[in-house]
Amino acid sequence: MGRIVYYTATTLDGFLADPADSLDWLLRQPLDDGGAGDYTRFIADVGAIVMGSTTYEWVLAHDPGSWAYDVPSWVMTSRTLPLPAAAGADVRFASGPVGALAPGLRAAAGEKDVWIVGGGDLAGQFADAGLLDEIVTSIAPVTLGAGRPLFPRRADLELLTVERNAGFIVARHRYTGPLQEDRV
């Protein structure tokens, strides 16, 4: 069975996007393709993905007419949203507790990993359900002061690896559970 991994870029002060959902601060960063945290290597081990509706709407708006993922993809939403225009996109909508979704995600992924694309609260929902294995962050040399949070939870993590890619710190953490001080 694969892992459930939250893999994302973030600012140094813990934001996935600015308050207007802009990623301009990220998309302008130089990156060493094939270096630490490389997306192509990461996605080769991914068998299914899950994302929240804000992320999905960002992807649709910024890449209209195409769908970048060739694995089964779940979008969490309480609304009725359009499917991608791209032929062959395997997108499924779901809502409610992520624990109910996990068996389907794992079955689709097989031996491969499940990728939580974001946002941060969705990753937190998996953590709350005891389903989150790892958080892999590419930390950009940027602060925003406000925006969409990386992981709005109190948690303990174990640092597994840390590498550098151009201006990014690439860190892999194991999620070990709620913050020790909060455990009863």
Ligand X SMILES: NC(=O)c1ccc[n+]([C@@H]2O[C@H](COP(=O)([O-])OP(=O)(O)OC[C@H]3O[C@@H](n4cnc5c(N)ncnc54)[C@H](OP(=O)(O)O)[C@@H]3O)[C@@H](O)[C@H]2O)c1
16 is an interface residue for ligand X by CB under 6 A? yes
Contacts with ligand X by CB under 6 A: the residue count is 29
Q: Which is nearer to ligand X, 30 or 184 (CB)?
A: 30
Using CB under 6 A as the binding rule, whether residue 53 contacts ligand X is answered as yes
Nearer to ligand X, 68 or 110 (CB): 68
Rounded to whole angstroms, the Cα distance separating 24 from 21 reads: 9
- Residue 94 CB burial class (10 angstroms; 0-12, 13-18, ≥19): middle
Q: Is 72 in the site for ligand X (CB under 6 A)?
A: no
Contact segment (CB under 6 A) with ligand X among 28-36, 37-45, 107-115, 118-126 equals 118-126
Please choose, from the candidates 99, 168, 92, the residue with its C-alpha nearest in 3D space to the C-alpha of residue 136. Answer: 168
Q: How many CA atoms lie within 13 A of 91 on its CB side?
A: 25
Q: Which stretch binds ligand X (CB under 6 A): 2-10, 34-42, 64-72, 171-179?
A: 2-10
Pick the closest to residue 42 from 126, 127, 115, 134 (CA basis): 115
User: Is the CB of residue 27 less than 8 Å from the CB of residue 10?
Assistant: no
CB of 180 to ligand X, least distance (A): 26
Among 5, 36, 48, 148, binds ligand X (CB under 6 A): 148
Cα torsion for 180, 5, 77, 20, to the nearest 10°?
80
Question: Residue of minimal CB distance from ligand X?
Answer: 52
Interface contacts to ligand X, rule CB under 6 A: 8-10, 16-17, 21, 23, 26, 51-55, 58, 76-79, 95-96, 98, 117-122, 125, 148
